[in-house]
């Protein structure tokens, strides 16, 4: 839309073709008005909006823009924790520009991105990462929302439990069964009660429902895994046809791992299969390097769990934690 004004105002999605089991990678707000969202099958998106314009991804363009935006962020603080190409946490508590006002810093960053890059960004300003993330979503698109320390308690009390970090559909359903729908409801439960019901997750629920999040912004957060996957236009009917697809995926995985400099840090290999009934299975093993034969064995193990046609194969590497250069372990 930035590069081609003719696309503005039209429902637009980026992703694969609807007749080849493509999915929506992202879409503009005109498309979202039809209920289209990321990860939706493109065929479903087209049914919801027959006039949907579909364009293929242009990853190099996105990476270039991401580098421009991250460079602007780092003009204000070295404490930038990227979450993806287009999202990051910034800790500006030590920034002296604009009298150290986080609100004014966010305003200036948004204006600079608009002027220098030509796209809009939304911002959330808050005392911690949990609240900043929620605030950044509050007035999209092209908005900014500020949660002052004195406003945290009242703001969080009204939040639905689904907005809490780590709460998915299953946990939300369990909370609803207990009559807990908002953070105010959660606050009526003691920490021991929540630990008994939800294990370690209970502590997170207890703290987040009170707006507490002590996680620091980590500019050097480490990559935990590298993976590639492919959704096939037609289901692969048997294990032999799946095995035929592995070499191409394997080469793509090696190339991606080399770009990420991940190969010296491999400690597990895994494979993911999505079957024709949309059920998913994952099989993994310990390994210090990618190995095509090992992936073949993992695939056969996974396929044997359901013996159904396969619509998606994914290959991945799990990476071990790395110590900063020159740093010895404490214990």
Domain extent listing, the chain: 5-55, 59-147, 152-208, 225-319
Respond yes or no: is residue 96 known to be catalytic: no
* Alpha-carbon gap, residue 210 to 157, rounded angstroms: 7
Reported confidence tier of residue 79, pLDDT bands at 50, 70, 90? very high
Helix axes 292-303, 239-259, angle to 10 degrees: 130
Binding-site residue positions for Mg(2+): 3, 86
Please report, for the chain, how many H helices and E strands are present, in that order. 12, 11
Domains 5-55 and 59-147 belong to one CATH topology: no
Catalytic residue among 60, 81, 87, 230: 87
pTM: 0.73
Top pLDDT among 190 and 323 is at: 190
Mean pLDDT of the chain: 91
Classify domain 152-208 at the CATH topology level.
Answer: DNA polymerase; domain 1 (1.10.150)
pLDDT at 128 over 70: yes
The H-assigned helical ranges of 34-120 are 42-48, 59-74, 102-116
* Alpha-carbon gap, residue 14 to 28, rounded angstroms: 9
134 membership: H or E segment, kind and range: helix 129-138
Percentage of the residues of the chain whose pLDDT score is greater than 90:
80
What top-level class would CATH report for the domain 59-147? alpha beta
* Alpha-carbon gap, residue 187 to 246, rounded angstroms: 50
From the options 3.40.50.2020, 3.40.50.720, 3.90.470.20, 3.40.1170.60, give the CATH code of 5-55: 3.40.1170.60
Q: Please state which CATH number belongs to domain 225-319.
A: 3.30.1490.100
Q: At a CB cut-off of 8 Å and minimum separation 6, what does 136 contact? A: 87, 122, 123, 124, 145
* Alpha-carbon gap, residue 48 to 37, rounded angstroms: 11
Is 272 within 8 Å of 305 (Cβ atoms)?
Answer: no
Reported as half-sphere exposure (CB side, CA atoms, 13 A), residue 273 has a value of 30
3-state secondary structure of 269: strand
Reported confidence tier of residue 322, pLDDT bands at 50, 70, 90? low
- For the residues of 17-44, what is the DSSP string, one character each? -GGGT-BEEEE-HHHHTTT--TT-BHHH
Is 140 within 8 Å of 131 (Cβ atoms)?
Answer: no
pLDDT at 325 over 70: no
């Amino acid at each position: 839309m930035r590069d081609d004004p003719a696309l503005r105002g039209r429902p637009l999605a980026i992703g694969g073709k609807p007749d080849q089991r493509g999915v929506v990678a992202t879409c503009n707000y005109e498309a979202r008005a039809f209920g289209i969202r990321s990860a939706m099958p493109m065929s479903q998106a087209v049914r919801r909006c027959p006039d949907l314009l579909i364009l293929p991804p242009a990853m190099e363009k996105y990476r270039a823009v991401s580098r421009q935006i991250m460079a602007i962020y780092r003009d204000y603080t070295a404490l930038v924790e990227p979450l993806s190409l287009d999202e990051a946490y910034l800790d500006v508590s030590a920034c002296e520009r604009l009298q150290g006002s986080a609100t004014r810093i966010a305003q200036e960053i948004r204006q600079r991105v608009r002027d220098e890059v030509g796209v809009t960004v939304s911002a959330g300003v808050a005392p911690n990462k949990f609240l900043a993330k929620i605030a950044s979503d509050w007035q999209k698109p092209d908005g900014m929302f500020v949660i002052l320390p004195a406003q945290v308690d009242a703001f969080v009390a009204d939040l639905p439990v689904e907005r809490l970090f780590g709460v998915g559909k299953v946990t939300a359903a369990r909370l609803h069964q207990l009559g807990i729908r908002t953070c105010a409801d959660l606050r009526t439960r003691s920490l021991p009660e929540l630990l008994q019901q939800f294990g370690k997750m209970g502590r997170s629920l207890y703290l987040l429902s009170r707006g507490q999040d002590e996680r620091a912004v980590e500019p050097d957060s480490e990559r935990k895994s590298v993976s590639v996957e492919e959704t096939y236009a037609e289901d692969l009917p048997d294990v032999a046809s799946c095995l035929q697809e592995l070499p191409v995926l394997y080469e793509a995985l090696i190339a991606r791992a080399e770009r990420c400099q991940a190969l010296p840090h491999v400690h597990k290999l895994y494979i993911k299969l999505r079957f024709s009934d949309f059920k998913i299975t994952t099989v993994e093993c310990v390994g210090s390097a990618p190995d095509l034969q090992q992936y073949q064995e993992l695939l056969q193990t996974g396929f044997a769990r359901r013996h159904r046609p396969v619509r998606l194969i994914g290959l991945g590497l799990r990476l071990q934690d790395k110590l900063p250069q020159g740093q010895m372990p404490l214990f």
